[in-house]
Amino acid sequence: MSFEFTIQNLKFKIAKAAVFAACLTPLYCLAYFAFTDNLGANPIEVITHWTGDATIIFLLITLAVTPLRKTTGWNDAVKFRRLLGLFAFFYACLHFMTYVWLDQFFDFRGIVKDVAKRPFITVGFASFILLIPLALTSTAAMVRRLGKRWQQLHRLVYFAAAGGVIHYWWLVKKDIRWPLAFGVVLALLLAFRAAVRWSARQPSRPFAAAAEKQ
């Protein structure tokens, strides 16, 4: 192992630890609010909103990694994608557990009824279910084992993010600015992906190299 390789490795480990610590920011904030008694009159609502926002934001950041890599040539960005995706799942679990535990007190009959009755809960639940196989197959061993099918499976993340945006859109009463903003970001990310695929099929293939790496 060369000295240069060891330094590179160490730098990457430090960067990864820094990204990991940064990804915990929503959790630090919630813990700070809780310890300083600043969760307001309805703490469950605040926790639900913070964890829901963190889930959709991390899903969009994860989806932005490939466009960022292709537009800037910063190939190392892809090394952080799995970590970011797992944080999206982590916040989705916290969001779901807030609902199951603090909101519904493990009343599973009530939960089933709620999922069937309220469309925004139905869509949120479906998005959460879609994230489970993605988290379970995120290991390097599963990437190798599934081969091309891994990429096909992981396209589900677009559906999970779209479901998250619809879930948010349907739950807001009047002010649609935030779900609209998240929807626009998701649409741009999808448009980028479509443009890369379309250009790969053109005879001149201007983005062919980028598309092949997809």
- For position 167 contacting ligand HEM by CB under 6 A, the verdict is yes
User: HSE (CB half, 13 Å, CA atoms) of 149?
Assistant: 6
Radius of gyration of the chain (CA): 19
Judged by CB under 6 A, the stretch of 13-21, 144-152, 162-170, 196-204 that binds ligand HEM is 162-170
User: 65, 164, 166, 185: which one contacts ligand HEM (CB under 6 A)?
Assistant: 164
Q: What sign does the dihedral 155-159-165-168 (CA atoms) show?
A: negative
Q: Applying CB under 6 A, which of residues 95, 166, 185, 193 lies at the interface with ligand HEM?
A: 95
Contact residue for ligand HEM among 128, 183, 185, 189 (CB under 6 A): 128
Under rule CB under 6 A, how many of the chain's residues touch ligand HEM?
Answer: 21
Report yes or no: 47 and 93 within 8 Å, Cβ to Cβ. no
* 55 lines the binding site for ligand HEM (CB under 6 A): yes
The contacts found for 130-136 with CB under 8 angstroms, 24 or more apart, are 130/156, 130/157, 130/159, 130/160, 130/163, 131/88, 131/89, 131/92, 131/157, 131/160, 132/89, 134/85, 134/89, 134/160, 135/85, 135/86, 135/89
Backbone phi, psi, residue 206, to 5° = -60, -35
> For ligand HEM, which is the closer residue by CB, 111 or 200?
111
Q: At what angle do helices 81-97 and 43-72 cross, to 10 degrees?
A: 160
**Greatest distance between any 2 Cα atoms in the chain:** 62
User: Contact between 168 and ligand HEM (CB under 6 A)?
Assistant: yes
CB 85, min distance to ligand HEM, A: 12
Q: Is the Cβ of residue 81 or residue 167 nearer to ligand HEM in the bound state?
A: 167
Q: Applying CB under 6 A, does 63 fall inside the site for ligand HEM?
A: no
Q: Which of 66, 124, 157, 185 contacts ligand HEM by CB under 6 A? A: 124
Q: Does 56 bind ligand HEM (CB under 6 A)?
A: yes
Q: Is 96 an interacting residue with respect to ligand HEM (CB under 6 A)?
A: yes
- The answer to the question of residue 127 lying near ligand HEM (CB under 6 A) is yes
Q: Return the residue matching tokens 């139905």.
A: 122
Q: Do the beta carbons of residue 160 and residue 131 sit within 8 Å? A: yes
Task: Determine, following the binding rule CB under 6 A, whether residue 58 of this chain makes contact with ligand HEM.
Answer: no
User: Which residues contribute to the site for ligand HEM (CB under 6 A)?
Assistant: 48-49, 52-53, 55-56, 92, 95-96, 99, 121, 124-125, 127-128, 131, 160, 164, 167-168, 171
